[in-house]
Amino acid sequence: MKTENKISLFDRAYKNIVEKRNRILSGKINCIPLGFPRFENELPGIEQGKNYLITANSKVGKSQITDWIFLYNTIQQVIDKGLDIRLKIFYFTLEMTAEQKMLSAFSNILYVKEGIRISPKDLRSTKADDVLSQEILDIISKYEPYFKKIEEVVEFIDDIRTGYGIYITVRDYALANGTIHKRKIETQPGVFIEVEDYYEANDPEEYVMVIIDHCSLISPAKNYETGLPMTLHESIGKLSSDHLIKLRNRFKYICVVVQQQMAGQESVENKKYNKLKPSLDGLADNKTTQRDFDYILGLFSPFRHEISEYMNYDITQFKDQIRFLEILGGREGGGGTVCPLYFDGATNYFRELPLPSDKEAINKVYEFIKNIKNNEKY
């Protein structure tokens, strides 16, 4: 830590916007594009110092969309598009093992790069009469650089399950890779104390992400005033409003949290009143998390509820291969903006769909879905 005289807040804020302007003028980026062109008009990309909450009902694809946007998308852009940034991802996988995550990556890259549609289950040769071919193994080896990049930048952690443990793990990394500048404040005449002022990373081009999937699986923290375990509601609140806020505000890290919707969100009563899609009020275990995130994204599957048409898309044609990603809330607007997505659950693949008014493009998607082949990719 370094102690110095205070730099004014105005000076830091003004310097920041000047630097960001100059970065764009010099060909650099200020965010990682999402890869959904129309949606980027409201949510341009993944920014340093922003927190994102992903929510959906159970088994809709909230983990998949999280991985697609924040994991596969970022790594593919660094490798394929030469994005001049460094990545460090702390992935607290509370629901799946690291090996399961890597198998999902195998399926995704096979599809994205070769149009080969094969699920993690099939990669495991679960059927005696359907053993994984040597050809597939050879193709996986061909894309070893992708998987090595995942190993290089992503730290899958499945043995730390408390909010404080998550915070300390990431804070230790920040302290080892940057400097906290301190300033003196006068608490009473002639008495000064040092407090943290701001953080300066050794590598400003490094995007550090903290992904938690999902927050309802964290272990209860201890209330240090009473010595008793907190409730799950309290533990999620502490994680969201304390630990993750500190990581965002102090270090400009990117925190991504997956949070389920309540089971009652899909109740008969909600179906009766057409309130099935994710909502802020439907957040499970602790609704107050919505106050702590810069963007809250909800994922919805109309097919799951036997809806035949949604936002002018023919769901009977798509069946389970369509999702709608909506900005449920954002500090800078954009609420209600919806991104229609083609979805392939077997390969963890998403792509922004044409508008329903573009009949020619939509009919091509319908035709593709009817005739999905192992070596074709939408």
User: What SS3 class is residue 219?
Assistant: coil
What's the mean per-residue pLDDT of the chain? 91
Lowest mean pLDDT among 232-241, 328-337, 342-351: 328-337
pLDDT, mean of residues 227-239: 91
Higher pLDDT, residue 222 or 204: 204
How many beta carbons lie within 10 A of that of residue 201, not counting itself?
A: 16
Tell me which DSSP letter residue 222 carries.
B
- What is the rounded distance in angstroms from the CA atom of residue 292 to the CA atom of residue 290? 6
Higher pLDDT, residue 27 or 88: 88
- What is the rounded distance in angstroms from the CA atom of residue 192 to the CA atom of residue 216? 42
- What is the rounded distance in angstroms from the CA atom of residue 320 to the CA atom of residue 64? 14
DSSP track, 233-297? HHHHHHIIIIIHHHHHHHH--EEEEEEEBPGGGGSHHHHHTT--S--STTBSS-GGGGGG-SEEE
Q: Encoding tokens for residue 200?
A: 């300066």
Q: In which band, very low, low, confident or very high, does the pLDDT at 378 lie, cut at 50, 70 and 90? A: confident
Q: In which band, very low, low, confident or very high, does the pLDDT at 6 lie, cut at 50, 70 and 90? A: low
Lowest mean pLDDT among 235-239, 311-315, 366-370: 366-370
pLDDT at 2: 45
Checking if the pLDDT of 3 tops 50, the result is no
- What is the rounded distance in angstroms from the CA atom of residue 305 to the CA atom of residue 59? 13
CB 60 within 8 A of CB 98: no
Sheet (strand 86-93) strand order: 154-157, 86-93, 206-213, 254-260, 51-56, 295-300, 322-330, 338-344, 349-352
Checking if the pLDDT of 284 tops 70, the result is yes
Question: HSE-up of 118 (CA within 13 Å, CB side)?
Answer: 25
Tell me which DSSP letter residue 5 carries.
P
pLDDT at 376: 65
Global pTM value: 0.90
pLDDT, mean of residues 29-41: 94
pLDDT, mean of residues 193-212: 93
Checking if the pLDDT of 330 tops 70, the result is yes
pLDDT at 375: 56
Q: Encoding tokens for residue 109?
A: 């890259």
pLDDT at 1: 44
pLDDT at 109: 93
pLDDT at 27: 87
- Residues facing 191 on adjacent strands: 188
pLDDT at 373: 60
Alpha helices in 192-238 (DSSP H): 232-238
pLDDT, mean of residues 128-156: 91
Angle, CA 59 vertex, CA 56 and CA 64 arms, to 5°? 75
pLDDT at 354: 97
The 10s digit of each residue's pLDDT in 38-62 is 999 999 999 999 999 999 999 999 9
